[in-house]
Amino acid sequence: MLEEKKELLRVEHLKKYFTTPKGTLHAVDDVNFSIRAGETLGVVGESGCGKSTMGRAILRLHEPTAGKVYFEGNDILSYNKKQLKELRKDMQIIFQDPFASLNPRMTVSEAIIEPLLVQGIYKSSERAAIISRVDEIMNLVGLAKRLVNTYPHELDGGRRQRIGIARALAVNPKFIVCDEPVSALDVSIQAQILNLMQDLQEELNLTYMFITHDLSVVRHFSNNIVVMYLGQMVECAPAKTLFKNPLHPYTKALLSAIPVPDPDFKMERIPLKGELTSPINPDPGCRFAKRCPYATEACTSREMTLMELEPEHFVSCRMIQEQR
């Protein structure tokens, strides 16, 4: 009998609002989920739906407006600066654009050394131990030793992203937010980076929150998938269940947009018509209603809640909930 994996991260009623001249922007609105140790949670949705903001709020790179974030059972939103710095050893992030996230004045080795010194893992006087750790990390992410003194602008996108991964791994984290780590890369390089991240997860027992707008990327990479729309979760299910039996109209539309590598296969895309609901001071009800072909007046009259319609399959849709 397989031992059940321990819960590493739990997010409860997480909210992140921004004040704008036009009103309050609801970037992340009442999000709930959990991730077990050694697993991957895929977070998908179109650009601007709050995926990256949610990832940064969990790490407290953005301070959440409300909610709870439990890491190994501890509420990290109550941590002070000293506790938060210590937490950075366990929680890291890989950014979307490696060229923007790396310091152009730092060589590969300097970029990897920086988090080791900042976190106090090594002292600057321990040169031999630092060099040994840099060699170990570079080897782990597939960076050749000869690149140790090169600068980011001298490398291609794939190697730059490997540096970003190396920086995150340097402090031996348990949990990594992967914020669209392959979307800025060529397709051939994307596969290399995804394979590397999977290998690292198995080797180091890492836990990922993998943010992307591309469902096909997370299909074989995630244990569970969360679908977001304008700051809210609309569906959450195990990856196999979501692809086999999507329930929410928005999820179905996203899945229909995935290209199939077969010239004889006729794709039946589900077009989304209508205008986007503004995330600034949104009205109650389903935020997808203006683009949903099944929407009725009842969809906009009350707040929507996630309901478990099948084991571990949660959906926020009045029509689907009433059919069950």
User: What are the boundaries of each domain within the chain?
Assistant: 7-90+173-323, 104-167
Does pLDDT of 30 surpass 70? yes
CATH second-level architecture of 7-90+173-323? 3-Layer(aba) Sandwich (3.40)
Q: Between these two residues, 263 and 212, which has the higher pLDDT value?
A: 212
Q: Which pLDDT belongs to residue 265? A: 63
Does pLDDT of 177 surpass 60? yes
Q: Which pLDDT belongs to residue 262? A: 63
> Over pLDDT 90: what percentage of the chain?
67
User: Average pLDDT of 108-122?
Assistant: 93
What's the whole-model pTM score?
0.91
Task: For the chain, give the mean pLDDT.
Answer: 90
Phi, psi torsion values for 211, nearest 5 degrees: -95, 130
Hey, CA dihedral for 299, 52, 276, 224, is it positive or negative?
negative
Q: Between these two residues, 215 and 34, which has the higher pLDDT value?
A: 34
Per-residue pLDDT reduced to its tens digit, 61-113:
999 999 999 999 999 999 999 999 999 999 999 998 888 889 999 999 999 99
Q: Between these two residues, 264 and 77, which has the higher pLDDT value?
A: 77
Q: Between these two residues, 67 and 299, which has the higher pLDDT value?
A: 67
What confidence tier does 1 reach under pLDDT thresholds 50, 70, 90? very low
Q: Which pLDDT belongs to residue 256? A: 85
User: Average pLDDT of 37-41?
Assistant: 96
Report for 65-79, 175-189, 209-223: range of highest mean pLDDT: 65-79
Does pLDDT of 2 surpass 70? no
Q: Which pLDDT belongs to residue 201? A: 95
User: Average pLDDT of 271-296?
Assistant: 86
Q: Which pLDDT belongs to residue 264? A: 66
Q: Which pLDDT belongs to residue 255? A: 87
Q: Which pLDDT belongs to residue 298? A: 83
What confidence tier does 231 reach under pLDDT thresholds 50, 70, 90? very high
